[in-house]
Amino acid sequence: MTRAVVGIIGGSGVYHLPGLENIREERVETPWGAPSDALHLGEIGGTRVVFLPRHGRGHVLSPSGINYRANIDALKRVGATDIVSISACGSFKAELYPGLFVLPDQFVDRTFGRQSSFFGNGCVAHVSMAHPVAPLLAKRIALAAQAEDIAVATGGTYLCMEGPQFSSYAESLTYKAAGYDVIGMTALPEAKLAREAEISYATIAMVTDFDCWHPEHDDVDVAAVIQVVRSNADKASRLLARLIADFPKEHEPCPIGSDRALDNAILTAPEARDPELLKKLDAVMARMSGR
């Protein structure tokens, strides 16, 4: 079996997890360009973990300016079998209040202009995104939260907007009427690229506000978001530390095939594939080598 390596994509606050040992920094080069920052690798209870600050140290990258392909490729190259993504989000439901962690199981993509696939002309692939979240990973996150007495809401739909501006009032009402649960700017194309790279993926969406639909709450602004994120940093660290400490040392097969997503996805015949693109896909397609 493959040794489990948990990738964490989030803010710099998650570097200081209880029990984190053998920390080292590694800069990873990818054929897709530079990732957001250097990776930080370590262990908790013998389980390997790798951290990547999505926006770079000092929060220098906007959601639209993140090189999502390089980030996922870099995590793949250091052996990540699972990715836990942490992101702030707005809520469209009163019961999903600021400070609550939500574990969405569906995504709606309203981004534009982002590179959302490793594949393309010369090697065409279509992976299934019917179930974008790895259920076993999401269950482990929920169990870790329960063990730490941290309230989480399981399931729901995360709408990913382009940003960097927040929603208009009309947009907020439209998304709420559509039945979406939370809104953020970073889960996509992360989830799509993780699926193409055959890495199990789940998101911890931290509710920071009610967007701008709620008549009894102020409209979202950066100050409010930062205040909630900072006040929940310890809670997030405890959740991640518990998750990693309890994580199986060997990667268990994903019940929905996240780790085998390319088995029936590649349409281009082997002899017709672009060798230059295949060079760039060496990490993403490592398991498929020769097929």
Could you tell me which residues come within 8 angstroms of residue 121 by beta carbon, excluding any fewer than 6 positions away? 274, 277
Cis ω before 189 (30° cut-off from 0): yes
The closest of 109, 79, 121 to 185, measured between CA atoms, is 109
Choose the catalytic residue: 181, 209, 221, 259: 209
Residues 137 and 201 sit within 8 Å (Cβ to Cβ): yes
| DSSP H/E element including 188 | helix 187-196
List the end-to-end C-alpha distance of the chain, in Å, as a whole number: 20
| Known catalytic membership, residue 219 | no
Is residue 193 helix, strand or coil?
Answer: helix
37 is an active site residue: no
Nearest to 175, CA basis, from 165, 164, 184: 184
Choose the catalytic residue: 211, 219, 246, 259: 211
Angle between helices 68-77 and 187-196 (to 10 degrees): 40
Residue 148 to residues 19, 86, 156, 235, Cα–Cα distance (Å): 15, 17, 22, 9
Q: Which residues are catalytic?
A: 209, 211
